[in-house]
Amino acid sequence: MKTEKNSSLNSTKENEEETWKRPDSSWECRLRAFSERFNRFMIAEMLAFKTSPVLTVFTTFLGGLAMGLGLALGLTVLSGLSLMIAQEVVEADLPVIGEYLAEIYEVTIEHLD
């Protein structure tokens, strides 16, 4: 009994694929095969998600919130690293760059206090 079901399922899949690939098949057969593949990949559910305004707004809001948080954390880390590198350059007493970075470092420290 199970082998009959499996063989019929396999033959159905093979027939669908052959129908889809055959250039001489009618457009109805191709449309039917496309519709079955469309449903198989759950695209209908994705379209329902996009047509629901509340769900779309909520998901977009959460995505924006996550992007903003990532941007804030990333800029904080990069700013901290650049200040640490600037401090090391100032302590190394490089002639031109050291003086310029020393001024930037002092202004930054003043604003932090």
Q: Predicted confidence band at 108 (pLDDT cuts at 50, 70, 90)? A: confident
Q: Predicted confidence band at 5 (pLDDT cuts at 50, 70, 90)? A: very low
pLDDT digit string, tens, across residues 79-106: 999 988 878 877 777 677 777 777 888 8
Please tell me whether residue 6 adopts helix, strand or coil conformation: helix
CA separation (Å) from 76 to 103, 106, 110? 21, 19, 18
Task: Tell whether pTM > 0.75.
Answer: no
pLDDT at site 78: 96
Counting Cα atoms < 13 Å in the Cβ hemisphere of 37 gives 11
pLDDT at site 61: 94
Question: Beta-carbon neighbour count of residue 50 at 10 Å?
Answer: 11
Q: What does the block give as tokens for 17?
A: 């694929």
Amino acid at 2: K
Q: Predicted confidence band at 58 (pLDDT cuts at 50, 70, 90)? A: confident
Residue 27 pLDDT exceeds 50: yes
